[in-house]
Amino acid sequence: MIKKSDIIFTNLYGQRKPDINTAISSGDWKDTRKLLKKSRQEIINIVKESGLRGRGGAGFATGMKWDFMPKDFSKQHYLVINADEGEPGTCKDRDIIRNEPHKLIEGCLLSSYAIGATKCYIYIRGEFYNESKILQNAIDEAYKKKYLGKNVFGTGVDFDIYVHLGSGAYVCGEETALIESLEGKKGQPRLKPPFPANVGLYGKPTTVNNVETIAVIPTILKKGAKWFTALGKKNNTGSKIFCISGQVNKPCNVEEELGVPLKYLIQKYAGDVIGGWNNLLAVIPGGSSVPLITKDKCEHVLMDFDSLKDAGSALGTGGIIVINKQTDIISSIARLSEFYHHESCGQCTPCREGTGWIMRMMKKVVENRCTFEEIELLEEVTKQIEGHTICALGDAAAWPIQGLLKNFKQQIINRIEKKKNVA
């Protein structure tokens, strides 16, 4: 369990103003000049040693990702921040931008310096209009203080940040679709390779990172890699913001160590399941795109990348959606299938056609108009979609269905049999 002194996002709930003077008094922008005097590789090595894994869902090693960037700095390099937070059940990046924008901006500066980028684009979800205004105001404050722009902190480093509002497309959360959208094109994922580190924004070397990932960088560099590795577990180091919603008494965002028990998170911070813990049916632990886990697994599962993988799910964005026994689990998952069908960009046939077919089939399941054979076919179709698309949206559409059929197939069969008996 995290100590108060180890909490990174001390203003997550907005008790203080998000202005630069308040941020400075809280420790932001401290020792930034000193850190910019280190070599680029030195900063990358600290991040590598910290074991920081991306907080956007994939959990890829951040330091390793940075090291993929070419070391020839004669070309323009870019840092792109993915603030297109569209995963249902996830609202952590919004609160970072709303309440702690200077952690993100300072992180952008230090991260960009490490990868040799002089320009950074923050691609923010279009629905976060108010948050974009707060962010732009914080950027303007940093420019006035000479923390951004030409020769920041007198170090000879030039750095500029631009805010770009998206248009509400879920698929633009995928890094190459985001880059396409930034370039003014239709937001559709690119085939890889080439990877953004070699051919990214405007054909130049680019690193795309999540808001939370970049916002923790200044604290890691100031407190050291050993401090960060002391939090969490091996290969799952540090703290993480968890978003707890659904059938709980107190939905909330909370920062805790990776590897904390799921049950502890729900009971301590979210006021327990509505109706008590024994009224729990299932939990989607990492945003809507990961498979659900049943109550028996929720009793002991730990909230980190590896533990949830072993449990048959994934940490994803850390968006915990709690489902109690009063909820129609079949209708809930059917609603997700409708969402993924709506958000498919249509580029890949398995996703374009498969998500629509799944949505229509799930509607039949909800209305109890399906047969045993169709349930088996539904499972087979999800496997035909999974892993056969350019980006992971196809997987995101398939996994909730797979989780439902794995754990609640008998419930669907019982409905069909009941209807047959009545008939």
Residue 138's domain is classified under what CATH number?
A: 3.40.50.11540
Same domain (yes/no): 76, 202: yes
- Encoded tokens for 32: 């930034």
**What per-residue confidence (pLDDT) applies to 370?**
86
User: Rounded to the nearest 10 degrees, how much is the dihedral formed by the CA atoms of 15, 17, 18, 21?
Assistant: -130
In the predicted structure, residue 423 carries a pLDDT above the cut 60: no
Helices (H), 145-261: 175-182, 211-215, 217-223, 225-229
d(CA 50, CA 234): 11
- Encoded tokens for 220: 């890691």
Q: Taking the CB of residue 333, how many other CB atoms lie within 10 A of it?
A: 23
Same domain (yes/no): 354, 289: no
Give the confidence band of 420 by pLDDT, cuts at 50, 70, 90: low
**What per-residue confidence (pLDDT) applies to 5?**
93
Residue 393 is part of a domain; what is its CATH number?
Answer: 1.20.1440.230
Same domain (yes/no): 12, 149: yes
Helices (H), 37-100: 40-50, 62-67, 92-99
Point out the domain boundary residue: 293, 324, 355.
Answer: 324
- Encoded tokens for 33: 């000049």
Same domain (yes/no): 155, 12: yes
Residue 318 is part of a domain; what is its CATH number?
Answer: 3.10.20.600
Same domain (yes/no): 29, 90: yes
Strand order in the sheet with 157-165: 149-152, 157-165, 119-124, 78-83, 206-210
Report whether the peptide linkage leading into residue 400 is cis, meaning its omega lies within 30 degrees of zero.
no
**Mean pLDDT (whole number) for 289-316:** 95
Same domain (yes/no): 242, 371: no
Same domain (yes/no): 295, 378: no
- Encoded tokens for 7: 């909490």
Q: For residue 233, what is the enclosing H or E element? A: strand 232-233
Same domain (yes/no): 339, 406: yes
d(CA 251, CA 367): 30
Same domain (yes/no): 297, 336: no
Point out the domain boundary residue: 292, 308, 324.
Answer: 324
Same domain (yes/no): 247, 337: no
- Encoded tokens for 182: 């930034």
**What per-residue confidence (pLDDT) applies to 422?**
60
Point out the domain boundary residue: 274, 297, 324.
Answer: 324
d(CA 304, CA 318): 9
* Number of separate domains in the chain: 3
Same domain (yes/no): 164, 268: no
Same domain (yes/no): 348, 414: yes
Domain that holds residue 364: 329-422
Strand, helix or coil at 259? coil
Residue 169 in contact with residue 339, Cβ under 8 Å? no
What's the pLDDT tens digit per position in 91-123?
999 999 999 999 999 999 999 999 999 999 999
